[in-house]
Each structure stands twice: as structure tokens, then as C-alpha cells.
Structure 1
Amino acid sequence: MDLFGPPEREPAPKPASDQVVRLEVLVTVKAAPNPSEKYGETVCVAGVSTDLRRPGWVRLYPINFRELSSDENFRKYDVISVDATPARQDQRRESWRPRMTSMVRLRHLEPWKHRRAWLDQYVEDSMCRLNQDARIDANAKSLSLVRPREVGGLTIKPHPGWTPDEQRRIDAYVSQLDLFSGQDRTPLAAPRFKAAYRYRCHDQMCNGHQQGLIDWEFVALQRRLRHLTDGEIRRQLEDKFVRLMCDPSRDVAFYVGNQAKRAHVFSVLGVYYPKG
């Protein structure tokens, strides 16, 4: 069931003014946290609008998950309402700056059939076309849900650690005194592993895609399993992100998003895997 028909191929332009807009969003993506000098860690959240007057993809950034109270925190497939303004330093049309003090969690969508009513209409077959469009126009669609023709697997490698610039941000954050608690700030630790999906889309000329996986769940699972050996963690990551999520019995699609500064570079932000 389509709630508001097939979405437009191109995202709607941002409003011309910086007036605050109240957005209602079905959260589908929580990207892995990145070091931030101001917040310690920032997270990018994305999803689709549940406002029938304004359908389409929405990106919310920056979000400081570290300082959200437990009753304000939210998870994938929650519907949230939040005040936001257009992100002017980000050319991507879907990008908004949220005012997190205004955020309200409205409801959680469960099970898959309720999610599919909103999301199946957003599924596309060609990652190749998304790449091509982004190379031609930096303002082209920057978020999508792509159905692979075949999944070749997940390449898991040791994480190299933070870059010098990322480490500088962490050091600057930790060095600041927390005026409210009087305690030192805890630095964001790099995950033990990074990963990339290998897959082919349905484009007839597709030679295959290899895209980094930057899903919050991939990092969070590693943290929960930190007491295990590298080999045991690898097996559990593969169990979840390949054997469970990409099982042939599921209608698999990848949430993908590009980089603001390199519009043609897309990553896998998460996996959509309802039962077929």
C-alpha cells in the first residue's frame, strides 16, 4: 500500500527562508558516531517524511546523542517530530539542522508490515543511476533505498583508528572541563572493525559496488562484544549483517547516502530486510 504515491526522483528544493519548520520523520538510519570537538560525538539521522504534504527523504545533522536524556533518545523506525531549519552549509536538499530540545518521539512502527507501507515505495533498483546523477549534479538525490540484485558479502577489516584531524577533535573535547558535572569528558573510542558491502544492483551495465557500512548498529554490536576475540566478533558481525539481514528469504535493500563534499561517493547507512 502506497500512502502518497511514488516519490519524486529528485528531492524538493530547500525553502528559501531560514524559518523554523516542524518536521515529522520516520527514522530509518542512525549512522555511526563521528568525533566532534563541541559534542564529543555527532550522529547523522535520516528517514522519510510522514507529513503527506511534504513527502521525501530527510537528513538531520548534527545530533549529539551523548547528551540526550534516556527518555528523549530514539531508535530506528520511531516516528519523531522536531523543529529544524534548512542546512545552508550542506548543498544536499534533504539536509536539515534539528533543534533537539524540540524533539518529541511520537510512536514506534512495528512489525515490518507497518514499515513497508511507508518504505516500499522508496525502493529503487539502480545504484549505478544514483552514482551517475550525483556525478552530473551535486544537488541530485543524496539518500535512497536500493534493492541489490545479488549480495556478494561483507568485507570486514581492522579499523585503522582515528585520522589526525579526528584525534584533534577528540583531544579538544576531552580537554574541556565539564562545567555541569565537574568530571573529565570520556573520549569516543574507535571501533575494532570497519566493513564494506559488495553487491550488484539491477542496472544491466552494473559492474558491482563496494560501499562502506557506517551503520550505528555495526559499531554498537562491536562495543557489546568487546570482551570477545577478533575472530568471535567477526563471526557475530557476519551472522547479523550477512546471514540474517541478507538472507534470501528477505526483501533486502540498502539505505545509502552520499558525502556532502564528494557527492558521487555513497555509503551503506543501514539495511532494510523485511520478510519476503
Structure 2
Amino acid sequence: MSQASLFGPEQAPDAKQPHDLPVRMRVLITVKAAPNPSAGYGETVCVAGIRLDLDAPGWVRLYPINFRDLDAGMQFSKYDIVSISVRPARADPRVESWRPEVGSLQKEDWLRPWARRRPIVEPYIEGSMCGVLQAVRDNPPAKSLALIQPKEVLDVDIEPHPGWTADEQAKIDAYVGQIDMFGADRTPLEAPQFKGWYRYRCHDPSCRTHRQGILDWEFVALQRKLPGGPADVAAALKAKFLDVCSSNHDVVAFYVGNQAKRPQTFSVLGVYYPKR
């Protein structure tokens, strides 16, 4: 049996609309995943957030977005509120998934202090990752995005990234080989040095622990800025991503999302960690 949320109301996904006409959404951006190679778009970023429309609150996934191709004025940050036109992602069975019309994006606000974010975000916190997984096993189109408060964070595993596969590199090369509409050169997407996983125990009494890959944009961006050799960078990454789970923060929760082709595989897409 799937355990009910321990910390907030259940957020059951609604069915997608029956038509393909664009819908205007207001979204609080909570997740920007690290970019990955794409055949159609060169590289893509999965973005997720909380829909703020009064008639349809809940989780929403916006994909694909080539973030580096966005004009400077349209590039957005986590905890920005944006307005954007979207259509249902018909090839994706996850009901939270929508295809954005990127050119329609408008930034409205940035919720800078945590006090402005908490009333919107924290009602979505729940305690049982085991329950989310069981719901997907029972019904694959079940909720594919969640905010999980771990009972105990056990460790962060850091391993060298193997580099892009031959297929991924071919996608990058094909994209870089094209000239964009302004005649500018495109720089190839570099593979990160390291991959990471959170190991934690959720609040389900029968939890045997979870090990979920870290796909957070900040995890990749940070390792490209850190000084020192590989061992130094790996140690600093581990320290940073353990520190955000420390008692210095009033609440710690993981934004998690699954894969369309493997719905039982969830990853950590970001960390929610307001300071005390």
C-alpha cells in the first residue's frame, strides 16, 4: 500500500487537456536540471516547477529547453516566476509534462528571500519516497515529480563521469557544426568531471534507503568552478552537497523526478534548504 504524505496534502496529477491548443501557465521555477545532449536541440535542460494558476495548481515539467540558446533577457533562475505558453507533451505519458513555446516566456518576479518561497513550496513536502515509488509501480502514469523530506541523509557518493557516449557526442558534434541564425559559432557541451548520488532514508517505516542520482544544474556548474585537481574537486562537491542537508537549515527536502522511459527511476533534481 502506498503511504500517504506525512507533511502535506496528496498532489494527484490531473489528466492532460484533450486538445493541443496552447495554454498560458504561471510557474514558480524550482528545478533546472543539468543539460544533456539532444539530437533535435543540441542540448536540452529539463525544467520543473509549481504551477501557480488559480484553477490548476500542482507540479509541471517544461521540456525541451535549450537554455544556452535563450536570449539573455529570457534566461531564468530557480525561484523565478515565469509566464509561458505550453502544449501537452503527447509523446510523454507523464501528466506533468508539457512542451514549452520558449519564445513566449516572460519573467515576472524572482522570489529572493526564503520567506516568500516557503508558503508556496512547503505544502508540497511529503515524507515517503517509498510511497511515491509504489504509486508508480501500481500505476505508471502516477505522480512523476515530488518534494521529499528525508528522515536521514546517509552520504553523497561521488564518481568520475565517464564522458559522453559515442551517440551523445555525435549529437553534440552535429549541433556545433550548424551555424545559428546570427552566424555565431556554437560551443560544444562539455561533460562534467563527476557524477553524484544521494543516499538517504525516507520517513516510510519500511524504507531500506534510496540511492538517487544528482541531476541538479548546480551540481555540474559548481564542479566547473572549483579549483584544484580531481580529488580536491570531488571532496569539495561532497562537502557542499552534504552541507546543504545539515542542521543549519530549517528544512531539507529533495526535488525528485522520474524518467519517461523508466518511470521507477527517480533522481534528485535539486535541494530545498531554507536556512534557520
Q: Which residue of 1 aligns with 2:4?
A: none
**Residue by residue, what CA displacement relative to the aligned partner does 1:188-244 show, whole Å, maximum 9, x if unpaired?**
11000000000000000000000000000001111222x52112212321232111x
Residues 1:236 and 2:236 aligned together: yes
Q: Which residue of 2 aligns with 1:249?
A: 248
Out of 8-17 and 86-95, give the one that drifted further. Answer: 8-17
**Residue by residue, what CA displacement relative to the aligned partner does 1:77-122 show, whole Å, maximum 9, x if unpaired?**
0000000001000000000000111100000112111111001100
3-state SS, counterpart of residue 271 of structure 1: strand
**Residue by residue, what CA displacement relative to the aligned partner does 1:48-93 show, whole Å, maximum 9, x if unpaired?**
0111211000000000111111111100000000000010000000
Out of 173-182 and 39-48, give the one that drifted further. Answer: 173-182
Q: Which residue of 2 aligns with 1:62?
A: 64
**Residue by residue, what CA displacement relative to the aligned partner does 1:8-55 show, whole Å, maximum 9, x if unpaired?**
432011101001100000000000100123332110000001112110
Change (3 A) 1:101 1:178: closer
Q: Which residue of 1 aligns with 2:215?
A: 214
| Alignment length (residue pairs) | 268
Q: Which residue of 1 aligns with 2:193?
A: 192
2-structure distance, mates of 1:179, 1:94? 32
Q: Is 2:157–2:238's contact at 8 Å kept on the other side of the alignment?
A: no
Residues 1:35 and 2:34 aligned together: no
TM-score under structure 2 normalisation?
Answer: 0.93
Q: Which residue of 2 aligns with 1:19?
A: 21
Unpaired segments of 5 or more residues in structure 2? 1-7
Q: Which residue of 1 aligns with 2:49?
A: 47
Q: Which residue of 2 aligns with 1:161?
A: 163
Residues 1:105 and 2:104 aligned together: no
1-structure distance, mates of 2:21, 2:9? 25
Aligned Cα root-mean-square deviation (Å): 1.4
2-structure distance, mates of 1:179, 1:67? 11
Q: Which residue of 1 aligns with 2:273?
A: 273
> What is the one-letter code of the residue matched to 1:246?
C
Change (3 A) 1:94 1:7: farther
2-structure distance, mates of 1:63, 1:7? 30
**Residue by residue, what CA displacement relative to the aligned partner does 1:170-205 show, whole Å, maximum 9, x if unpaired?**
12212324453253x321110000000000000000
Q: Which residue of 1 aligns with 2:3?
A: none
2-structure distance, mates of 1:52, 1:275? 29
1-structure distance, mates of 2:228, 2:13? 44
4+ long deviations beyond 2 Å = 6-9, 37-40, 174-180
Identity of aligned residues (%): 56
Q: Is 1:148–1:252's contact at 8 Å kept on the other side of the alignment?
A: yes
2-structure distance, mates of 1:21, 1:62? 16
> What is the one-letter code of the residue matched to 1:51?
D
Q: Is 1:156–1:196's contact at 8 Å kept on the other side of the alignment?
A: yes
> What is the one-letter code of the residue matched to 2:272?
Y
Change (3 A) 1:193 1:15: same
Change (3 A) 1:59 1:92: same
Change (3 A) 1:15 1:195: same
